Amino acid sequence: MPRINGDRLWADIVTTARFGGTDKGGVTRLTLTEEDRQVRDWFVGECRSLGCTIDVDGIGNIFATYPGEDPSMPPIAVGSHLDTQPQGGRFDGVLGVLAGVELIRTLKETGTVLRHGLTVVNWTNEEGSRFSPAMMGSGVFSGASCLEAIEALTDRDGTTVKTALETIGYRGEIPVGHVGFAAYVELHIEQGPLLEAAATEIGIVTGVQGVRWFDVSITGTEAHAGSTPMAQRDDALVAASEIVLAVRDIARRHSPGVGTTGFATVGPNSRNVVPGTVQLQIDMRHPSEAGLSQMQAALEQAVAAIDAEIGLKHIWSKQPVVFEPATVEAVRASAEALSYSATEVVSGAGHDAAHIAGICPTAMIFVPSKDGLSHNEAEYSSPEECARGTDVLLQTVLQIDLK
């Protein structure tokens, strides 16, 4: 059975971490920035050197296809994303793309010919840290989002997605959704503590929990911090604090759901001024749609009970996803064939695979994350863990190719 070269894969992880690398060993590579252009150019160059054709669609998704024996068959796709969070890690998303490059190298050097082509995909803006929503490229590709509407979205500086794509030279000519896949398999770090805690080598991902995002605006009255009596204050930050605690308590009551208030701005943000405005961004997740609806209803009730002027807006949703059983079984069989310990997990984080599952058979493979850390400069999966996951990915592709 062909096996990947773990040292070569690790060298690529080290190389790509230089594009937007931070002093603490992490990466800041927001989507459609100069750093993103640099890593995209590296990816395209590597794949071209291996004999791949390169397609870029209108939302900037990159498709590097290594030819198979039968060009009439749709390709098997693997991949993930090259963008990161601010002060993010070297592995989140990147591992799935680099693993695809390593698969092509392994096929080429071992003379292994697939019936299907093999397409390695870099999806645009999976993270959603510069432009919202997250999983943007795969969302447009799968039909969950409209290209024209997405192109018009702006970042905090007012730059549109369309302009950002054009600036880095990755607003492609290929129509979005131009190609179908026989299947899609995404390798990713777990971004949680379960595999490491169980000393398990591979996570067989059966699905992705649902997500709902909310924006909150709180309006109070700015006033002097020294001369305004406590009983007469209309403090927007105090009301915001009640919401933050409500999000935490709602998630605890709706286990295994989770809730996070991950962004806040305070105006005027001065030590001696009672805050007059606060903006919050809330992320709620649950494996079931019913659980998500219960959490949203509880949030709406909690906001309504706070004595303040509050605007709550539900801005984005992604329903829970169950992956196609036969593709999940191919992952399981591949882990068993390689004698790796494995267990089923539901992904707590959103992934491009959640969108692609709506248009073709899809599965995911997880490898452990040290201390469960992700979206963090200390994020780490060992060379051995990355290699195991990539070997499972290769064997999964080979199994799918035989069907």
CA 168 to CA 152: how far, in whole Å? Answer: 17
Q: How far are the Cα atoms of 10, 62, 124, 192, 305 from residue 56, in angstroms, in the given order? A: 26, 5, 10, 32, 49
The dihedral of CA 139, 357, 363, 181: what is its sign?
negative
Residue 351, marked binder: no
Residue 92, marked binder: yes
Residue 352, marked binder: no
Residue 12, marked binder: no
Q: How far are the Cα atoms of 138, 186, 208, 340, 392 from residue 346, in angstroms, in the given order? A: 20, 14, 6, 19, 18
Residue 254, marked binder: no
Q: What is the DSSP letter of 126?
A: S
What DSSP assignment string belongs to 260-305?
EEEEEEEES--TTEE--EEEEEEEEEESSHHHHHHHHHHHHHHHHT
8 Å CB contact between 2 and 106: yes
CA 136 to CA 82: how far, in whole Å? Answer: 13
CA 319 to CA 355: how far, in whole Å? Answer: 10
Per the annotation, binding residues for Zn(2+) are: 81, 92, 127, 188, 375
Give the residue numbers of the binding site: 81, 92, 127, 188, 375
